[in-house]
Amino acid sequence: MSARAEKICAALIVAASFVLFSLYSILTPLFEASDELWHYPMVQHLATGGGLPVQRADQADAEAPWRQEGSQPPLYYWIAAAFSAPFDSSNWRDIRRINPHSDMGVPTRDGNANVVLHTPAEAWPWERATLAVRAARLASILMSTATVFFAYLAARELFPNGAGRRTQDTGLLRLASCVIVACTPMFTFISGAINNDNAAVLFSTIGLWWALRLMRLGDLSRKSAAVAGAIAGLGALSKSSALGLVGLFGLAALLTRPRSDESRDATPGARLLIRGAFVFVTLAVTLLISGWWFVRNQQLYGDLLGWNAFLDVVGRRDQPATLAQLWSEREGFVWAYWGVFGAMNVIMPPWIYDALNGLAALAVLGLIARMASAALGKAPLRPDAGRKMLLCAFWVALVFAALLRWTSLTPASQGRLMFPCIAVIAAALAYGWRAIHRYALIGACAGLAALAIVAPFAFIAPAYAQPPNRWTQRLPLAVNAEFGGAVRLEEAGFDARDSLQPGDEVTLRLNWALTQPVTRNYSVFVHLIDAHDVIVAQRDMYPGQGSLALSEQPAGRLWSDRYTVRLSPLTPAPKQLRWAVGLYDHATGERPPLADGDNRVIFGALELGSRADETPLLRYANGVALLSYALEPSVLSPGTTLTITTRWRATRALPRDLNISMQLLDDGANKIAQQDLGQPLTQWPVGETITLTHTLTASDAATPGVYRLLLVWYAPDDFARLPAYDAQGQFAGDQITLTRLRLR
């Protein structure tokens, strides 16, 4: 491939990237991207002349609609605000109607992905706030388009002419690298959304290219250092994690062999001084540009990075996550690198992630084979390849280590936070696939491009489509319950399985009709209740899988809904369950009544059988596993004694003795009973079943209601709680609600 042909292809890829990012932006409804409903208020605040906010944990949405994003460095928001400012955004709250039931961060089988209740004001032609939001998204699109361009420049540094198995392959590697960046579905999705990651990734990619360039040129001049400092400073003003660019430039300086006339014949000490001067200038310029932000954080929050203020708003983990806990979150982390859309709740079919992981594994095998071949002298690497690989590996490790630290503090296991080094990852994938065969590289890139093009049509747009004005099918159970004389539940149907067990999911289907216009946007509640009217499982959402504002629907509107309810694996069994369905106004809690005065309709029956296997319900970090539990009685009165029998197993030798606590609490955490038992865990024989009996006597002053039964393992000396994991290895918490009980 000639140099001219390669440049034309690169220009076409960059232009196609802009079109692809724009497509995602158009097909993704407003505020339906990760945290966009909080990023945009920050943009709007600055676009209308507001200053930088001061964060407090107790601020309501009316006062601080940007939530944690008000703690973020401001450069991205200033740029997006400049794009948005020319348009009237005064009605932005009217189109940002938050869905209180949205399953943010939780992909579900029955929809309800939308974080806002969308309005016709979002439709084409765009006007006012809709146009302002779209303009802010354009800033992101342009930033990510520039990222693809600089990823290509970085690939030119990594794969100069003559690298690879054949000289002509280097052009293919360079072009493939930027295709992989542009067509990683998650990167493509975020590129069309309002998100400061787009600026941080751009400056990180520019920084990688500049570091590789100065290594090739041996350019440790003050001018080069000033440019490096400007890149790092602008990156740090986009996102604090970009401060790692200073470390990247520092390592690049150490690995660089100065080639200027003044330093060519310099002594090792003089060269070290040159490198030190480069780092000093880089750091000085970085602080000159961004230092004021960190000083402000220190003055306002007593924290240079402002993490305290951020975590106070977004929420901390109860305890910093252990490596085992982070490892349990690995699947979601990897999926979020490839593509989890919406508010981290719209996923592709699992086989697609398996295929992408398989392609990544193939690239790793190719890299290993290539390194082995180089080590054996069969295909030597270029003399400077080792330094480039070390720099790239350092950058990936630095970004990953910072992400691990951040994720240990707050639940944020999102692979997309690795995008500051996406250019390195893309280049490594391209090189690994080429090491297998050039057709492996071409095929993998073609597959990624096809997926990136199909994804918005196949997965994103359908997740937010409103249901048609008809019932999708007739259902077997006639309900005929009309709420408030306006909303009629006509029919129902559900999985009538004989083998329903704790941990299973069951789907209820309902056919609705709006017989009269309503003025409120009612929510639907679906409960599974036991014989004592205790809610065993529940699902709440707006009609139309969360997409319909009933106040905007005409009389005669029909729709079908489905509600997938998951029973906790800890649910006591056997027992009989029934469905309870009704409507309520989320703002006031008011429920429209039925004709008989009740506010819910109860129907159907499901038999919940006992678990058929001995798979542990919970596994604790120290090696203790909960096999089962039983309780008696199933309903309480003041002064009643509840007996809980638990069965345990030590899966390995246990390191220390702990206390086990059982507690009964109401939803306000008011305790009516507790028993703590010291356990000599170090004496428990490995593999044998241990049975414990707990007795809790409800307080005589306890008021009627529903109480949760809480299980906690803790250390008697420092009260540190023991983390638990479910049967899939996912972190379940360190305070486990086993079940709920009614006290009459």
State pLDDT tens for residues 70-89: 999 999 999 999 999 999 99
**pTM recorded for the entire structure:** 0.90
Is 530 a domain residue? Answer: yes
Is 283 a domain residue? Answer: no
Asked whether the predicted pLDDT for residue 407 surpasses 90, the reply is no
The model's confidence at residue 730, banded by pLDDT at 50, 70 and 90, is confident
- What's the CA gap between 295 and 404, in Å, rounded? 25
- What's the CA gap between 448 and 338, in Å, rounded? 10
The model's confidence at residue 272, banded by pLDDT at 50, 70 and 90, is confident
- What's the CA gap between 163 and 169, in Å, rounded? 8
Q: What is the mean pLDDT of the chain?
A: 92
pLDDT at position 322 is 77
How far CA 298 is from CA of 167, 242, 267, 292, in Å, comes to 53, 18, 42, 10
Residues 595 and 649 in one domain: no
pLDDT at position 163 is 44
Per-residue pLDDT, averaged over 55-79, amounts to 92
| Chain-centre distance for alpha carbon 417 | 9
Is 435 a domain residue? Answer: yes
Per-residue pLDDT, averaged over 279-284, amounts to 95
| Structural domain ending residue among the three candidates 460, 493, 508 | 460
HSE value, Cβ hemisphere, 13 Å, CA-based, for 198:
30
Residues 117 and 33 in one domain: yes
Q: Give the three-class secondary structure for 709.
A: strand
pLDDT at position 43 is 97
Residues 359 and 413 in one domain: yes
The model's confidence at residue 169, banded by pLDDT at 50, 70 and 90, is confident
* Total structural domains within the chain: 3
Assign residue 587 the CATH number of its domain: 2.60.40.770
Asked whether the predicted pLDDT for residue 715 surpasses 50, the reply is yes
How far CA 373 is from CA of 67, 165, 391, 393, in Å, comes to 52, 11, 21, 20
Per-residue pLDDT, averaged over 471-492, amounts to 96
pLDDT at position 258 is 72
Assign residue 651 the CATH number of its domain: 2.60.40.2550
Asked whether the predicted pLDDT for residue 93 surpasses 50, the reply is yes
| Structural domain ending residue among the three candidates 584, 608, 632 | 608
Angle at 142 between CA 137 and CA 145, to 5 degrees: 125
The range of the structural domain enclosing residue 557 comes to 477-608
Residues 504 and 413 in one domain: no
The model's confidence at residue 585, banded by pLDDT at 50, 70 and 90, is very high
State in Å, rounded, how far the first CA of the chain is from the last one.
81
Using a 10 angstrom Cβ sphere, with 0-12 exposed, 13-18 middle and 19 or more buried, the burial of residue 19 is exposed
| Strand 624-632 to 618-620 pairing | antiparallel
pLDDT at position 314 is 78
pLDDT at position 165 is 47
Asked whether the predicted pLDDT for residue 383 surpasses 80, the reply is no
Say which range, 136-150, 160-174, 687-701, has the weakest mean pLDDT. 160-174
Asked whether the predicted pLDDT for residue 164 surpasses 70, the reply is no
How far CA 517 is from CA of 195, 279, 553, in Å, comes to 38, 68, 7
Is 321 a domain residue? Answer: no
| Structural domain ending residue among the three candidates 407, 431, 460 | 460
Per-residue pLDDT, averaged over 450-471, amounts to 96
Residues 657 and 580 in one domain: no
- Match 């306006």 to its residue by tokens: 486
Is 652 a domain residue? Answer: yes
Q: Which amino acid is it at 391? A: L
Tokens of residue 709, six digits: 């039964």
Crossing angle for the helix pair 350-375 and 422-436, to the nearest 10 degrees: 70
For the chain, the 3-state helix, strand and coil shares in percent, each to the nearest 5, are 45, 20, 35
Residues 422 and 530 in one domain: no
Is 294 a domain residue? Answer: no
Residues 672 and 707 in one domain: yes
User: Are 290 and 238 spatial neighbours (Cβ–Cβ below 8 Å)?
Assistant: no
Percent of the chain with pLDDT over 90: 79
Using a 10 angstrom Cβ sphere, with 0-12 exposed, 13-18 middle and 19 or more buried, the burial of residue 201 is buried
pLDDT at position 361 is 96
Residues 570 and 716 in one domain: no
Q: Name 131's Cβ contacts closer than 8 Å, sequence gap at least 6.
A: 87
Is 660 a domain residue? Answer: yes
Per-residue pLDDT, averaged over 552-580, amounts to 95
Residues 145 and 20 in one domain: yes
Is 277 a domain residue? Answer: no
Q: Give the three-class secondary structure for 219.
A: coil
Phi then psi dihedrals of residue 574, to 5 deg: -85, 160
Residues 483 and 441 in one domain: no
Residues 560 and 640 in one domain: no
Per-residue pLDDT, averaged over 476-494, amounts to 96
Per-residue pLDDT, averaged over 537-547, amounts to 95
Asked whether the predicted pLDDT for residue 260 surpasses 60, the reply is no
Residues 453 and 370 in one domain: yes
Asked whether the predicted pLDDT for residue 411 surpasses 80, the reply is no
Q: Name 646's Cβ contacts closer than 8 Å, sequence gap at least 6.
A: 626, 628, 629, 691, 692, 693, 694
pLDDT at position 498 is 64
